[in-house]
Structure 1
């Protein structure tokens, strides 16, 4: 059985990706930050479908914890799947926060950098020795880093996501000698818990987003999750170094 690691899978896009990947017969190691119950819910959803999943804690913004996480991954691989390698990595964990350019502090800028760019960079580096040749990496970016999704208040967030898009191409170049594919998905506005449940707290933002979206609705985690599951699958074996916007036609 193949095994995927999905970071930030206690809710939202990560949860959608973990469930969609598991439905294709792939074992899943999923990570969580503060929301342990959400991670257990994801495990339960996978097990209800007959899949296998293990939840592990991870702070993607704290690189000092990565070696211990790799050891936990190795234990899970051995104990649950009798393997010493995994096949797919989905760098999804992150956070979002609106902050106008003139109001953005160095502290917030640095946190965005640690979690959204430095974290995926060095987590992938840490896990690469455990990754099987011929696998796949998907980096979750954002359409805020594309010309179609520019909105005031996301300069720091989108800058880091744009950096992750560039990093995707360089990973694809360097990992290709091992047959590992690397792609990015750039979601549009998606109904998740991002920005402290912004959609729940500010429902008035939903209608303007729907009006700007060709399909007339806000994205759901499953919409993005299915795309991620497709990109790590054999169906996408000839796709690498791509950034795919998954936004339902935002801005069309």
Structure 2
């Protein structure tokens, strides 16, 4: 069924103003979804994404959210509900927990402060944001949590970050189990190394890092944002609803 005849879906993407979140937002809009995206501080960048989505003929809105501040989630939920009412929409059809930040430090050099920040952003944030949004998720909706290839393979300097992503993968399985009675599915998408500004843009801007990634990848190059958006679309598509509690890696075959 084409997106022009399908009932429009409404999807929330955290961290949708840049990088993989932006690409996912645009890909979902091109597939016929209306998008609410969040941003932490870059309101002008978020507004640009909203304009791009609207140019595709879909509705879009950007709301501020700091996923590290779980005390703000009830306020955010109320703002989201108000936005949905403006669109005459009662519920979300999809939630993509994408917002995050990188961290590169050897295990011996990782500080408790850095570790706690990663927990707040990558574990506590998605856990309690999803909890706060449960009343706004439609029965039969889709949850997609973004992990990383680093949860499968090990590269020095990423131990703390990878631990968080390993926790997110466990979280997806428990969501699938506990929300299954409502027909809600939960999966994990684990991108490989992608050329974005994430983590200071190391994969995109550092030639040595990029070459290392390419040499370790079956398809012979580092990933592009456009490699990930279509994967998000596929995993949120109603036609793939029987995929549940799964980890899907989109890495081009890195370290196989």
- Which of the five TM-score ranges fits, normalised by the shorter chain? over 0.9
User: 1:35 and 1:191 mapped to 2: Cα distance?
Assistant: 20
Question: What is the SS of the residue equivalent to 2:189?
Answer: strand
User: 2:204 and 2:33 mapped to 1: Cα distance?
Assistant: 32
**1:241 and 2:245 matched:** yes
Partner of residue 207, structure 1: 211
Would you say the 8 A contact 2:193–2:223 is kept in 1?
Answer: yes
Partner of residue 110, structure 1: 116
**1:91 and 2:97 matched:** yes
Structure 1, gaps ≥5 residues long: none
Partner of residue 221, structure 2: 217
Alignment of 1:175-214 (within 5 A): 175-199=179-203, 201-214=205-218
User: 1:211 and 1:150 mapped to 2: Cα distance?
Assistant: 16
Partner of residue 142, structure 1: 148
**1:49 and 2:53 matched:** no
Q: Per-residue CA shift, 1:173-219, capped at 9, x if unaligned?
A: 00100000100001100111111233455333111111111111111
CA RMSD across the alignment? 1.1
**1:72 and 2:113 matched:** no
TM-score by length of 1: 0.96
User: 2:127 and 2:11 mapped to 1: Cα distance?
Assistant: 17
- Count, aligned residues: 249
User: 1:92 and 1:74 mapped to 2: Cα distance?
Assistant: 20
Would you say the 8 A contact 2:204–2:210 is kept in 1?
Answer: no
Q: Per-residue CA shift, 1:56-97, capped at 9, x if unaligned?
A: 010000001101100110011011x20121110000000011
Would you say the 8 A contact 2:148–2:162 is kept in 1?
Answer: yes
1:13 to 20, 32, 57: 20
TM-score by length of 2: 0.95
Q: Per-residue CA shift, 1:145-195, capped at 9, x if unaligned?
A: 11xx31001110000100000010000000100000100001100111111
Higher relative contact order (CA 8 A, sep 6+): 1
User: 2:226 and 2:48 mapped to 1: Cα distance?
Assistant: 15
Structure 2, gaps ≥5 residues long: 1-7
Question: What is the SS of the residue equivalent to 1:244?
Answer: strand
Partner of residue 24, structure 1: 31
User: 1:44 and 1:210 mapped to 2: Cα distance?
Assistant: 34
Question: What is the SS of the residue equivalent to 2:220?
Answer: coil
